[in-house]
């Protein structure tokens, strides 16, 4: 990676005795769509507010284009934030809201008008330029908030739970819309979200935060396919966990069956581990897979694209979850209560320390 646009080194933020953000190191490249993913209390919002300038790090450095901006106030950094509540000015029209940031730059009126018109057109709200925020729908308000931040052409645009206030259907459409806009403007986006699906769909890279620290950072595929911790594996998508102990280069499950899996180099016989496999990596039948499980079908749910099965097995206390594609499930008589055999490969198995 060439010189990163944004570089965090050892950024820590303490509120009293609480460490909200704990030594985060992170480089974000120009033009990247980056997602900070975490549950509430993970420190993602505090981290975002430090990037926007509303909080100053207790220690560490935030560099933008190589310049330390840790102590630069929000109104003096080329960074804009789209607020979770949108924070539109209720007494100003759509056009005035969008023009506000440009007026602060003391640009000539003609340029302000041109840029406001241009972006209104882009977000397809030209007709509503004279409306007040309380006369807009949730989706329209969201677009105005986005336009108000984008029109300043910041080096970095921060989005705090940008789709949180929208209903589910609109959210799906807006995920793609945000990606398109980011592409079109060529501005670096950092999105804060607690929604793992949102992060996977939109972002080029995702960072998982937990207890103020950075747990893992990578492309959505890396994060999904190669989670580095049990927490990450559990947080992103669905995962089956099976406690096991190391025995002669493989794992011995609770019920005594052998699980072949890529073990960490420092694994010794008797070490307690957790083997994990994604529900869609389990396949019906004996097959040629290295690993096999036998279970009793206790529930099934049809989801259109796939068929989800719950299996009672000796491998874990929780039922094992299986997702069969529609074509896999085709022609199979899967009666609840019957015994089923499934297989999966060693390659699809992940191993975590217990």
Residues that bind another protein (CB under 8 A): 52-54, 73-76, 80-81, 83, 85, 87-91, 100-101, 104-105, 148-149, 152
CB of 9 to another protein, least distance (A): 24
Minimal distance, residue 85 CB to another protein, in Å: 5
Q: Are 277 and 349 in contact (CB under 8 A)?
A: yes
Residue 91 vs 168, nearer CB to another protein: 91
Distance of CA 242 to the CA centre of its chain: 25
Kindly tell me which of 44 and 77 has the beta carbon lying closer to another protein. 77
Residue closer to another protein (CB basis): 46 or 196? 46
- Backbone torsions φ then ψ of 301, nearest 5 degrees: -135, 130
Choose between 97 and 175: whose C-beta lies nearer to another protein.
Answer: 97
Answer left, alpha or beta for residue 249, where phi above 0 means left and psi between -120 and 50 means alpha: left
Least distance CB 66 / another protein (angstroms): 22
Alpha helices in the chain (DSSP H): 44-52, 94-104, 109-122, 138-150, 168-185, 196-202, 220-225, 230-235, 326-329
Closer residue to another protein, CB minimum distance, 100 or 231? 100
Question: Nearest approach, Cβ of 227 to another protein (angstroms)?
Answer: 34
Q: Which is nearer to another protein, 80 or 316 (CB)?
A: 80
Q: Apex CA 179: angle with CA 178 and CA 180, to 5°?
A: 90
Give the shortest CB-74-to-another protein separation in angstroms.
5
Residue 124 CB, shortest distance to another protein, in Å, is 22
Torsion region of 197: left, alpha or beta (phi above 0 gives left; psi -120 to 50 gives alpha): alpha
The distance of closest approach from Cβ of residue 89 to another protein in the complex, given in angstroms and rounded to an integer, is 6
Residues 311/274, Cβ–Cβ less than 8 Å? no
> Would you say 75 or 333 has its CB closer to another protein?
75
In the complex, minimum distance from the CB of residue 97 to another protein, in angstroms, rounded to a whole number: 9
Q: Which is nearer to another protein, 99 or 277 (CB)?
A: 99
Cβ burial 248-282 (10 Å sphere, 16+ → b, else e): eebbbbeeebebbbebeeeeeeebebbbbbbbbbb
């Amino acid at each position: 990676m060439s010189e990163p646009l944004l570089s965090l080194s050892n950024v820590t933020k303490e509120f009293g005795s609480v460490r909200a953000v704990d030594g985060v190191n992170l480089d974000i490249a120009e033009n990247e769509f980056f997602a900070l993913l975490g549950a509430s209390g993970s420190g993602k919002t505090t981290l975002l507010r430090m990037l926007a300038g509303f909080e100053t790090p207790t220690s560490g450095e935030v560099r933008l284009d190589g310049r330390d901006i840790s102590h630069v106030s929000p109104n003096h950094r080329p960074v804009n934030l789209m607020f979770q509540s949108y924070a539109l000015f209720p007494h100003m029209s759509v056009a005035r809201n969008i023009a506000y940031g440009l007026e602060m730059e003391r640009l000539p009126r003609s340029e302000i008008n041109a840029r406001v018109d241009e972006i209104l057109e882009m977000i397809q709200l030209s007709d509503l330029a004279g409306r007040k925020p309380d006369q807009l729908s949730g989706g329209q308000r969201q677009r105005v908030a986005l336009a108000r931040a984008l029109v300043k052409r910041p080096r970095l645009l921060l989005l705090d739970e940008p789709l949180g206030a929208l209903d589910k259907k609109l959210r799906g459409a807006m995920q793609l819309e945000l990606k398109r806009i980011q592409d079109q403007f060529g501005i670096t986006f950092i999105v804060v979200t607690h929604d793992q699906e949102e992060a996977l769909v939109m972002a080029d890279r995702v960072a998982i935060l937990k207890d103020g620290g950075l747990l893992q950072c990578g492309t959505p595929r890396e994060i999904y396919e190669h989670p580095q911790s049990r927490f990450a594996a559990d947080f992103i998508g669905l995962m089956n966990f099976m406690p096991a102990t190391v025995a002669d280069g493989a794992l011995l499950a609770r019920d005594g069956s052998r699980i072949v899996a890529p073990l960490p180099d420092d694994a010794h016989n008797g070490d307690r581990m957790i083997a994990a496999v994604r529900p869609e990596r389990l396949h019906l039948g004996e097959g040629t897979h290295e690993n096999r499980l036998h279970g009793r079908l206790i529930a099934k749910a049809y989801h259109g694209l796939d068929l989800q099965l719950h299996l009672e097995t000796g491998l874990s206390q929780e039922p094992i979850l299986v997702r069969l594609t529609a074509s896999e499930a085709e022609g199979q008589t899967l009666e609840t209560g019957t015994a089923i055999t499934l297989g999966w490969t060693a390659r699809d198995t992940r191993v975590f320390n217990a």
